[in-house]
């Protein structure tokens, strides 16, 4: 069976996607910082591989990818999913520590993981693989008070396009999934009310996170001669189209 490494696998979108691939029989690398969460997620799935790793540490990332490639035989897909946000604030209220923390996970972490995956996919035989970056609808249309998150997700679009271009000679495909309001712990506050571009606070609809897992599965199952460069999966009635 094919293999996939999923970062940020211990909760939310990563967890839902990991379970989907485990149920389909893929060899799944479950990568996150919390070993207890990963152990609980893996359960009795013999096809699960637990990888405790901090994506902001490139040496840890390289060791983790080397280990998983050895366990699985190759890396067919990376779901580059680990990410974080910050409490809403304008830029002048944002601490340097908050900015650096978000950038280190959302941009540097994704870069390190993509770098490690690309290295293995280029060297393995048969050559190639697929990298799926978790962007956000904020990669094109920002929310107010979220400068670090918006900036890093815009940057992921550039990373995706660069990898899609540079991966061509090595049969490495890269695409991005932009997700809007999947129901996870991170989106609980959206149901309670979230600040809109006009300054009002409104409750926003969410969608079942399983729909994201299904979309990632679709992208992952494409033959390498086909690629979804950009996909948006969102709650139908959320304020995105026409936002602002």
Helix (H, G, I), strand (E, B) or coil at 205: coil
Cα(170)–Cα(149) distance, rounded to whole angstroms?
31
Q: Are 200 and 244 in contact (CB under 8 A)?
A: no
Alpha helices in the chain (DSSP H): 12-23, 35-42, 58-72, 96-103, 110-123, 147-166, 188-192, 210-220
Q: Catalytic residue at 149? A: yes
Q: How far is CA 99 from the centre of its chain?
A: 19
Rg over alpha carbons for the chain, rounded to the nearest Å, is 17
Token pair belonging to 188? 């609980």
Residue 146: DSSP 8-state: B
Question: What are the Cα distances from residue 81, in Å, to 86, 91, 95, 153?
Answer: 17, 25, 25, 12
112 upstream amide cis, omega within 30 of 0: no
Alpha-carbon gap, residue 239 to 47, rounded angstroms: 39
Active-site choice (26, 65, 149, 240): 149
Catalytic residues: 149
């Amino acid at each position: 069976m094919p293999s996939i490494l999923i970062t940020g696998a211990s909760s939310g979108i990563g967890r839902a996607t990991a379970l989907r691939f485990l149920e389909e029989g893929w060899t799944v690398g479950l990568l996150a910082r919390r070993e207890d969460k990963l152990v609980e997620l893996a359960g009795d799935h013999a096809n699960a591989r637990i990888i405790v790793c901090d994506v902001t540490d490139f040496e840890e990332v390289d060791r983790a990818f080397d280990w998983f490639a050895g366990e699985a035989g190759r890396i067919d897909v990376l779901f580059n999913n680990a990410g974080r946000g910050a409490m809403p604030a304008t830029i002048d209220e944002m601490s340097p520590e908050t900015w650096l923390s978000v950038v280190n996970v959302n941009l540097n972490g994704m870069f390190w993981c993509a770098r490690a995956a690309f290295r293995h996919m280029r060297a393995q035989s048969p050559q190639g693989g697929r990298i799926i970056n978790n962007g956000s609808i904020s990669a094109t249309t920002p929310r107010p008070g979220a400068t670090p998150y918006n900036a890093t997700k815009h940057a992921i679009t550039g990373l995706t396009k660069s990898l899609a271009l540079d991966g061509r000679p090595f049969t490495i495909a890269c695409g991005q999934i932009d997700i809007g309001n999947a129901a996870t712990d991170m989106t609980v506050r959206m149901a309670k009310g979230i600040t809109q571009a006009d300054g009002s606070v409104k409750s926003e609809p969410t969608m079942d996170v399983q729909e994201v897992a299904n979309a990632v599965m679709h992208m992952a199952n494409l033959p390498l001669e086909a690629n979804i460069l950009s996909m948006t999966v969102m709650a139908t009635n959320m304020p995105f189209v026409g936002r602002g």
